[in-house]
Amino acid sequence: MREREGFGGPTGHAFVAVAASSREQTEWLYRQAAGFVDRSPVLQPLFRPQEGYRRIRCDRTRSRIQIFAADDRTGDGPIATLFLLDELHRHRDLRLYRTWRGKLEKRGGQIVAISTAGAPGSEFEEARALIRERAPEVERSETFLRAVSDQLVLHGWAVPEGGDVEDLELVKRATPSGPSRSRASGGSATRPR
């Protein structure tokens, strides 16, 4: 995380709102972000993790990252410059996404939803299908899809329809974070490196 215009940079007052599907998941998000700060000699003087509040502050620019539970009934307060929704397929529904999406123009913000696949027929999967169908620009490869409209960009990695999920080489190609170890290299098929 390097200094950027609006957070650690000169304009300041940036606000990043992050939500996960459960209190436990929000704790993991907070710990990962705070650990990133704690392990970086460059970030330590700029950012102050506040564990009890699940918040990371940048006092110099009066900016912060705040972790929330995914509850549209209590998540309607933030007016952020960046909204991050983790594991959106695990949220009960898309109400918090819609609430936060409605706040984007107040500060010229952006919203990012990070997720693996949801249950077939779920509201989340129906929304993804609609995005793919309506996007005027769609780029596809064997295991990757990029759908672009004037409102959003959807990136999706998946084993293709009819693909063999037991084919570890195919599964590796469908994994955006890079290849995991296969059985041939001494790794586990169920436990990536």
Could you tell me if residue 162 is left (phi over 0), alpha (psi between -120 and 50 degrees) or otherwise beta? left
Q: What is the DSSP letter of 165?
A: T
Q: What is the DSSP letter of 179?
A: P
**Top-confidence residue, 193 or 86:** 86
**Top-confidence residue, 12 or 126:** 126
Global pTM reads: 0.73
Question: Which amino acid, residue 115?
Answer: S
Residue 97 CA to residue 112 CA, distance in Å, equals 9
Could you list the beta-strand ranges (E) of the chain: 15-20, 48-50, 55-58, 63-69, 82-86, 110-114, 137-140, 144-148, 153-157
pLDDT at residue 47, as a whole number: 95
pLDDT at residue 189, as a whole number: 46
Contact 29, 90 (CB under 8 A): no
pLDDT of residue 186 exceeding 70, the answer is no
Which CATH superfamily includes the segment(s) 1-116? P-loop containing nucleotide triphosphate hydrolases (3.40.50.300)
Span of 25-29, 75-79, 104-108 with lowest mean pLDDT: 75-79
Domain boundaries defined on the chain: 1-116
